């Protein structure tokens, strides 16, 4: 089985808003669960402790970008395991080519510094990736080019605040749930052929497992998520992927790691067959 998988490097980003703990603590747990599926693993360095939260997050993003670039140069598949979804900024920048984005998440992560009422940086991840907010800070990420919003499929999002809904209404992001994902992917395929696949584990319904404190009802079953990975593979070249936002404290029964493994196995095996 092992030999049929695509050569892969796990890129661990074990931080939550620039610091240890929280959803960062899920990264080594996932890495252990996935270790036998990958050829090697690297860990992105922590941020300088003197930095404020936002600056620390961006320093880590720049670290992700360097690792993804190096893994790509070594002809390995970069699989990012991250506490936070804004790791995506570094991943896409590190690829060095324009890609579309398939973003599976209970949330839209589409607030900007102007619309957020919580100030939660990770609620801005997809907005930042598509070029809204923190422009000067984003410019410190070598190779960062905003992804056009029309090159994004957002699937499984079901817990949005009104500002995000408003922004999404005015932005041509392709939105889907499990039932209509294939149509959204077909539309995206008319626009791009290479994608970054982003899996925030809270896209899963809590009946599968509770990925983090933001998990909410109405999510994908494990089978639906596996089929989603297949559907992406069938249409696109997946240039990099991420599995994010696992907080083991929210999952005392340990239901999420085996689910993550099932998804990654599907991703890496399908790539090898392609």
| Residues that bind Mn ion in the complex, under the rule CB under 5 A | 85, 105, 109, 200
Neighbours of 2 (CB within 10 A): 9
Q: How far is the CB of 162 from Mn ion (least distance, A)?
A: 18
Q: How far is the CB of 272 from Mn ion (least distance, A)?
A: 28
Show the tokens assigned to 6: 């695509």
Question: Which sign, positive or negative, has the C-alpha torsion 197, 198, 201, 202?
Answer: negative
Q: How far is the CB of 105 from Mn ion (least distance, A)?
A: 4
169 SS3 class: helix
Contact 33/25 with Cβ under 8 angstroms?
no
Shorter beta-carbon distance to Mn ion: residue 83 or 100: 83
Shorter beta-carbon distance to Mn ion: residue 72 or 90: 90
Q: How far is the CB of 242 from Mn ion (least distance, A)?
A: 10
Contact 218/205 with Cβ under 8 angstroms?
yes
Shorter beta-carbon distance to Mn ion: residue 245 or 270: 245
Where is 12: in which H helix or E strand?
A: strand 8-13
Residues 6+ apart with CB under 8 A from 217: 205, 206
Q: How far is the CB of 190 from Mn ion (least distance, A)?
A: 26
Shorter beta-carbon distance to Mn ion: residue 157 or 239: 157
Shorter beta-carbon distance to Mn ion: residue 105 or 251: 105
């Amino acid at each position: 089985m092992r030999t049929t998988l695509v050569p892969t490097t796990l890129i661990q980003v074990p931080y939550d808003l620039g610091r240890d703990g929280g959803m960062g603590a899920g990264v080594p747990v996932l890495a252990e669960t996935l270790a036998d599926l990958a050829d090697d693993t690297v860990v992105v360095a922590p941020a300088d402790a003197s930095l404020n939260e936002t600056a620390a997050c961006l320093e880590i993003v720049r670290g992700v970008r360097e690792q993804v670039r190096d893994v790509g140069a070594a002809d390995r598949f970069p699989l990012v395991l991250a506490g936070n979804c804004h790791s995506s900024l570094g991943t896409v920048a590190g690829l060095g080519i324009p890609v579309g984005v398939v973003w599976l998440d209970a949330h839209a992560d589409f607030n900007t510094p102007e619309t957020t009422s919580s100030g939660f940086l990770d609620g801005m991840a997809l907005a930042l990736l598509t070029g809204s907010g923190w422009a000067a800070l984003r410019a410190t990420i070598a190779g960062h080019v905003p992804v056009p919003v029309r090159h994004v499929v957002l699937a499984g999002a079901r817990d949005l605040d009104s500002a995000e809904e408003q922004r999404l209404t005015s932005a041509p992001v392709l939105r889907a749930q499990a039932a209509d994902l294939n149509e959204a992917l077909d539309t995206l395929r008319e626009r791009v052929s290479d994608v970054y696949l982003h899996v925030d584990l809270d896209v899963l319904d809590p009946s599968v497992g509770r990925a983090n404190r933001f998990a909410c009802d109405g999510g994908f079953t494990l089978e639906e998520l596996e089929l989603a990975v297949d559907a992406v593979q069938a249409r696109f070249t997946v240039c990099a992927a991420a599995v994010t936002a696992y907080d083991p404290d929210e999952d005392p029964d340990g239901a999420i790691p085996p689910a993550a493994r099932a998804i990654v196995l599907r991703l890496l095996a399908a790539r090898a067959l392609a």
